[in-house]
Amino acid sequence: MVLSFAPEVFQPPDMSQTSHAAARTGPGALAGVQIQLLPTAKTKARRHSPAKIRSLVEHLDGDALEKILLQVQEQIRSPAPQEELIVLDGKQPRHGGGHSVLTAVTVPSQHYLGSALVDTKTNEIPVARELFKKLDLDGRQVSLDALHTQDQTARKLVLAHGADYLLTVKDNQPTVREKIERLAVPHTQRTNFRVAFCGFLPLAITAG
C-alpha cells in the first residue's frame, strides 16, 4: 500500500502530544506500507523506510487526514446516500497491539463516514458516543451491535443527535428481553429470538 499525503496533514513536532497510533505501531504493521510525499516545486516525490514512516506518523493530524479521505471519497464515489442505514462496527486490526477501531459506514453502499480508536483501557461504548459527535446523524437510522444496547447510548442518538437506532437484545440482558417478550412477542414464540429496536419501538423480531 502506498500513501500519498499533502503537507497540511502533518503537524509540527510536539512530543508531549505524540500520536497514540504511532506509539503502538510495530514493525510488523509497517511492513507493507510505503509513504510517498507529494512533490512540490522544490522537491521530488520520495519513499521512506519503516523507521521514517514511524517518525512521520507521530506528527500526523488524524482529523485533517480523515477530512481529506472523505473529500476524495466524495469526488470518486459521490456523496454518501442520506437514505441508507449507518452501521458502527469495531474491528481489531492485525498488529494493532490489542487496540481496535470503531468505524461508521453506510449500508449497503459502504461509504466511509468516520472512525475512532478504542484504547485497551476502555471499550466501544464510550468511544461510540464520542464518534456520534463527528457524524451527521440527524434523521438517520444507526445500527450497533448488542454491546451498545444501553439506555444512555439510545438516548444520545435520539435526543442529542436526532437519529433513530437499530439495536439487538441478547440473552445477557434478561430484564430487557423479558420486557420485550411481554410487549412484542406472542407467548408461543418466546424462545430463541433476537429483537431489533428502532427509536424506542421494536422494528423487527427475528429468530436466532
Structural domains in the chain, sorted by start = 1-79 (no CATH), 82-208 (3.30.420)
Q: What is the pLDDT of residue 26?
A: 43
Q: How would DSSP label each residue in the chain? A: -EEEE-GGGBPPP-GGG--HHHHH--HHHHTT-EEEEPP-SS---EE--HHHHHHHHHTB-HHHHHHHHHHHHHHHH-SPPTTSEEEEEEE--TT-TT-EEEEEEEETT--EEEEEEE-TTS-HHHHHHHHHTTS--TT-EEE--GGG--HHHHHIIIIIT--EEEEEE-TT-HHHHHHHHHHHS-GGG-SSEEEEEETTEEEEEEE-
Note the pTM of the prediction, 2 decimals.
Answer: 0.67
CA quadruple 18, 6, 99, 27: dihedral, nearest 10: -80
Reading the block at residue 40, the C-alpha cell is 512540490
pLDDT in tens, 41-85: 566 655 667 777 777 777 778 888 899 999 999 999 999 999 999
Q: What is the pLDDT of residue 72?
A: 92
pLDDT tens string, the chain, 208 residues long: the values are 344 444 445 454 443 333 444 434 444 444 444 455 556 556 665 566 777 777 777 777 888 889 999 999 999 999 999 999 999 999 887 766 778 899 999 999 999 999 998 988 889 999 999 999 999 999 999 999 989 998 899 999 999 999 999 888 888 888 887 887 777 666 545 555 555 554 444 444 444 4
